[in-house]
Every structure is written in structure tokens, then in C-alpha cells.
Structure 1
Amino acid sequence: MSNNTKEDILNATYILIAEQGIQKASFAQIAKSVGISKPSIYYYFESKDDLIKQLFDYFCTEIHFNNYFRVEDFTAENFEDKLVNIGVQMIQDQKQDPYYDNVMKEFLSLAARDKYYHDHLLEIQSFYLKGFEELLKKASTLSIITGDAVEEKAHILALVLDNIGNLIMENETINYKGIWITAVKLVFSKGDLSE
């Protein structure tokens, strides 16, 4: 077996879940897709539940806030453009991955009935809320946004990005890029958002 067999199993599972759902994706199909025997999967995963959980953990790691927005990379000179470009890239990545939406729907379905999945997805959302707060506090410190309603502005960005992802999953055809750019520009406008 190659050193990448575990990764190959995870990738095959990702595709099968997208195409058939978690319930129908079997070890036999996964093994056939990877080109290994079914018992070989047990070398890497104790059970189908273990495989799904490890795939989910990997999935969560991949979509984590810090994989996209690293506070230390933002400067007064690049802040707004970098924020726009990363958000646009995330939107494009989701739209270009033919499996992402169906896999996310499967994980959301699991989260509705399993605390482990629920808590981890909630944690991902929390990281986006807190991550955007940290980013915009830096922007305020650099005097490139006003200091009013920083937390609310951060939450606007997190919610807009999350809802864009949800709308893409539902195949809604709206101007996602334009919405994200407008949200960022509104946050960086010099108008006072406080009541």
C-alpha cells in the first residue's frame, strides 16, 4: 500500500458521500474506488463511523477560518483588497468543487442528530465570528475602519459569507461575488454605524 492510501480512502469516501450519501457509501465501494481490498480499510479506520468522523474532522480543518484569513498577513495597505480576494476565492472554491455542497449537506444532516457533528460545526461558525472580530480590531487599530460597532461589523462579514455558502448549496443564482464585495466595502466605509 502506498503512503497515501489513507488519503486516497478519505478522498474516495468524500466523492461517494457526495454522489450517494453516507448511508449508501459502503466499504466495498470505497475499496474498489481506491483499488484495495475491503479489509485493508480496517488498517486505517476501525469502522465506517470512524471513517466518516475522520473525514468530517479533516473537512472541518480544511474550512477553518485560519486556513483562509491569517491576521498577521493583513496590513494597512492590503487589508480591504485581501479581505475581498480571500472571500471571493472561498466562494469560487465552493462553486468549483462538485462534491462540497452534497458532502456539507450530509454533515449538516448528521449534525441534526449527533452532538459530535453539531458541536464541531458550531465551533467552526464560532471561529469565523471571533476571527472576523480579531481581523476588524486590527483594522480599527490601523485606523482603516472606524472603531464603532467593530463586533457587529465582524459578525456581518461572517454571516454574509456563511449565507453565501448556504445559497450556493441551494443552487441559488445571485451575484455572490458582488454581495461579498459590497459587504466588505460597507464595513470599510467611514460612516458611523452606531445608533
Structure 2
Amino acid sequence: MAADNATRQKIIDAMYHLIAEYGYDKASLSKLCDAVGITKPSIYYYFQSKEDILLAVHDAMHIPTESDDGLCATTDAVSYRAQLIALGQRSIASFHDDVERHRVMAEIDLQSTRIPALAAHRASVAQKTSRSYQNVLAHGVKLGALPADLDVETASQFLYVIMAGMSQTVANKDHLDETAIWNWLVNALLLP
């Protein structure tokens, strides 16, 4: 079982790197087999299709973090605010640190216009991420760290859009100060 999971993860990791280097269309199963050191029939033991591997790559890129657990465990408004700002800053730093991720995300964006299952999957990930933000913001309201009348559902969607946009500005090399934008956003819009 552990070997099966390890091989499955090797396939996902190799496809991630191939997509970053060649794009999805040119990341052939033959190249994938060579990269992992397995045969094509072996790939079909783990995945039904190349599209299924792409969905698994997308899943792996959006593994839920424990950051929201840390924020939801805070017991005072000051710690909550500091952790909320730090969470955004860590996310932004990760956008700058991973050029390969930008290439894969750009390819996923493109392929989601062609592959309905990927478009649906992206929408599902967006909803899960927004719900995670909603839990974090609701806890902040409960602590008094955020305004009592904050519409947490809309604010969580807003945070998702902002983070997605900042990821894109980094990928586009727009030379904006995303960290300053995040800090301003938290202080100006979310704090009481």
C-alpha cells in the first residue's frame, strides 16, 4: 500500500514538472513513464487517464494548510490580527518563490477552458478555499478582532479573489508590492 502511494505520488510529481517544462499537451505519457521509470500500463493502474493525472496535480497544489487551524486556535484579538497578516505574507512569499508553480497554474487555467472536469474541479477548490477563509474570519469576529457586522461570506470570497489576483500579478511580474497591499487590506478593510 505504501509503495502504491509512493508510486502514485511520483507520477503526480513528475507530471507537475513536465507540465511546467512542456505544457500539458506536450507532457506526454511516454515522457511521464520515462521520468517515473514505469510502463504506460502501470500509469493506468493508478490513473484512468492523463486528465485524471492533471486533476491529481491540481489537488496536490491545493492541499489544505493548517494555517487556518492556527488562526482558529488563537484566543485573543492581537494574536489573531498578527497571525492573519503573517498568513497573507507567507502566501505572497510562496508566490514569489515558486516560478514552476506559476507555469503549472497558467497551464491549468488554459486547460480548464478545454477540460470541463478541470473547470469544475477548479470551482470546487475555490469554494473550499473560500469556506476555509470564512471559518478563519468568523473566528476573528468572535474574538472581536474583526468588525462584528463583517459579512464573513462575502469577505472570504473577497480574500480568495485578492489572493488569486496577487498570485497572478506575481506570475505576470507586474512589480507591485503585494505584501504592502495585503497589510493595507487587513488593516483598512477587515479590522474594526
Moved more, 13-22 or 137-146: 137-146
Q: CA RMSD in A?
A: 2.3
1:50 aligns with 2:52: yes
What amino acid does structure 2 have at the position aligned with 1:68? S
Match of 1:11 among 10, 13, 21: 13
CA contact (8 A) 1:80 1:188 kept: no
Q: Under a length normalisation based on structure 1, what TM-score does the superposition of the two structures give?
A: 0.82
Identity of aligned residues (%): 24
- CA 1:176/1:28 → structure 2, altered by over 3 Å: closer, same or farther? same
User: Residues of 2 paired with 1:112 and 1:67: CA distance?
Assistant: 31
Structure 1 unmatched ranges of 5 or more = 191-195
Which residue is 1:84 aligned to? 85
- Counterpart amino acid of residue 21 in structure 1: G
Who is 1:193 aligned against? none
Q: Is 1:173 the equivalent of 2:175? A: yes
Question: d(CA) in 2 for partners of 1:119 and 1:74?
Answer: 34
Equivalent residue pairs, number: 186
The equivalences for 1:28-177 within 5 A come to 28-60=30-62, 62=63, 64=64, 67-70=66-69, 72-76=72-76, 77-151=78-152, 152-177=154-179
Q: 1:154 to 1:23 in 2, by over 3 A?
A: closer
- 1:58-112 residue CA offsets vs partner (Å, 9 max, x unmatched): 334x2x4x54322533332421111111211122223222311111111112222
Corresponding residue number in structure 2 for 1:183 = 185
Deviation at 1:34, TM superposition (A): 2.1
Q: Kindly provide the amino acid, as one letter, of the partner of residue 68 in structure 2.
A: F
Task: Give 1 or 2: higher helix fraction.
Answer: 2
Alignment gaps of 5+ in structure 2: none
Seen in structure 2, the aligned counterparts of structure 1 residues 114 and 39 have a Cα distance that, compared at 3 Å, is closer
